[in-house]
Amino acid sequence: MGLSLCRTLRNWSSTVAVSVQLERLQMAAKALSFDVGDYVVYPKHGVGRVVELQKEQIAGMELELYVLRFEKERMTLRVPTNKAEGVGMRKLSSNKTLEEAIETLKGKPKVKRTMWSRRAQEYEAKINSGDLVSIAEVTRDLFRADDQPEQSYSERQIFEAASSRLARELAAMEETDEPSALKKILRILNEAAPKYVKVEA
């Protein structure tokens, strides 16, 4: 009788634990939910769009997935809805964050006197963080006006990656296209550059 009761209690505890875990996953999914047609930002790939919500049976369990389409890379990515927050997937930035990113572009570039390999890693980490202001910092720091020394090939590559990420989110937020958004970013950078060239001289 006592052994049977212990088994019953263990089974009940296990069932409760699974129920609690499922409830937490459902709450996490609701806390960060996206609809078909929404623009989203996936840290390693930038701005994409939710094109479908899929359900798949995996190991006897039903899994709900966001199907994301990244037009520029011509890539499709499937993300479990309960993992979206954990991988850093987010909605487009707020207007306040966008304003902060624009102000960052207008600020004085920060150039560290460390080895390029280390700086390149830091820049790439900022780009892949998905944080709009951090991406703006990389864009600003690696920008070179026409009358400034040319970028190296590696600097140019990272600059283009950062400015493209920034332009794609700006374009999605302002309902324009990427070339127009990039033109706006470059205009802001070119207007700010002479001021800081004089200061450094």
Q: What is the CATH number of the domain that holds 155?
A: 1.20.58.1290
**Domain's final residue, options 63, 91, 119:** 91
* Confidence (pLDDT) at 126: 97
50 with 118, same domain?
Answer: no
3-state secondary structure of 86: coil
99 with 182, same domain?
Answer: yes
Q: What is the CATH number of the domain that holds 65?
A: 2.40.10.170
For residue 171, tell me if it sits in a domain.
yes
* Confidence (pLDDT) at 22: 47
**Domain's final residue, options 65, 91, 117:** 91
108 with 85, same domain?
Answer: no
41 with 133, same domain?
Answer: no
For residue 18, tell me if it sits in a domain.
no
**Rounded (5°) CA angle 92-80-57:** 150
Are 114 and 153 a contacting pair, CB within 8 Å?
no
123's CB contacts (< 8 A; 6+ apart) are 138, 141, 142, 158, 162
Average pLDDT by consecutive 10-residue portion of the chain (201 residues)?
A: 51 48 47 86 95 89 94 92 93 97 95 89 96 98 87 94 98 96 97 66 34
For residue 17, tell me if it sits in a domain.
no
The pTM assigned to this predicted structure is 0.78
